Amino acid sequence: MYEDLEGKVALVTGGSFGIGRTTILEYAKNKAKVAIADINEAGAEAVADEVRAMGGEALVIKADVSKSAEVKAMVASIVEHYGRLDIAFNNAGIDLDHTYLADADENMFDTLMAVNVKGVWLCLKYEIEQMMKQGGGVIVNTASIAGVVSSPKMGIYGATKHAVVGLTKTAAVEYGRKGIRVNSVSAGPIKTLASAGIGDFKKILDEVSSNAPLRRNVTIEDVGNTGAFLCSDLAAGITGENIYVDSGYNIVSMGVVE
């Protein structure tokens, strides 16, 4: 338990399933008040019901993180409801069917960039504005080892996650003296609803479990636990870091060559 999270207000975007849902439940377990933002309002409400069943407080906000007005309104709604914003886990992101760079089209590129990069930047923008007003806060962005380890057919998605790490480090430098810590989490492949429809995902999972030092795939619980730790006082000295949660895969892999 992270006792210092009790009573804190924590936002999670992309909170209707997978890493987002698990992180929300981890915050709620530690008695934080949560705000669940997702374009899938029904899914977010279901997670909110889980939080309330635990005796916690939950606010649901329908928001498309690629739209400035909706992100601004999201943060304003949280402040109106809870009075402040202490923690933000910018998890909302998408992946599309993997393809070689020359076979991808502009729509794929634009869609991935709009959600995974612009969406994280917009969240940072409005979260930081609020946190500076109140004297500080903690932000965690969801990146990926795809932003570090090269794999065929993942060039555009990987580029978006490189960008998330870059935004994280810059935000940490620019706002550390304002009392704001910013880190990112790069998870290895996780079998969630988001990944289930990707045709070559089993191959990727097998690659990781066969070659990672721990010989296991990571779970959404691994990532949720890391997110809670990074937002606690135990991580008070950590900012600008990209934390790998990948069973050590990134330190041994030089990329998959076909």
In a domain, 255, yes or no: no
In a domain, 143, yes or no: yes
Tokens of 219: 């779970």
Check 157, 175, 244, 249 and give the catalytic one: 157
Q: 241, 103, 258: which is closest to 181 by C-alpha?
A: 241
Which tens digit of pLDDT belongs to each residue from 20-54?
A: 999 999 999 999 999 999 999 999 999 999 999 99
In a domain, 257, yes or no: no
CATH code of the domain in which 183 resides: 3.40.50.720
Q: Give the residue numbers spanning the domain of 179.
A: 3-248
Which tens digit of pLDDT belongs to each residue from 113-145?
A: 999 999 999 999 999 999 999 999 999 999 998
pLDDT of amino acid 165: 96
Q: Which residues have CB under 8 Å from 119's CB, separation 6+?
A: 13, 65, 66, 71, 90, 92, 93
Cα angle, residue 145 at apex, residues 91 and 240 outer, rounded to 5°: 65
In a domain, 8, yes or no: yes
Task: Specify whether 249 is catalytic.
Answer: no
Q: What predicted TM-score, i.e. pTM, was given to this entire model?
A: 0.93
Coil, strand, or helix at residue 106? helix
DSSP alpha helix (H) spans, the chain: 18-29, 41-53, 68-82, 106-113, 119-134, 155-175, 193-196, 201-211, 220-230, 249-252
In a domain, 256, yes or no: no
In a domain, 254, yes or no: no
pLDDT of amino acid 216: 82
Other residues' Cβ atoms within 10 Å of the Cβ of residue 52: 12
In a domain, 94, yes or no: yes
In a domain, 253, yes or no: no
pLDDT of amino acid 248: 85
pLDDT of amino acid 230: 97
| pLDDT digits (tens), the chain, 258 positions | 889 999 999 999 999 989 999 999 999 999 999 999 999 999 999 999 999 999 999 999 999 999 999 999 999 999 999 999 999 999 999 888 778 999 999 999 999 999 999 999 999 999 999 999 999 999 999 999 887 877 778 899 999 999 999 999 999 999 999 999 999 999 887 766 555 555 566 777 777 777 788 888 888 899 999 999 999 999 999 999 999 998 888 888 555 545
Residue 122 near residue 74, CB atoms below 8 Å: no
Q: Structural domain tally of the chain?
A: 1
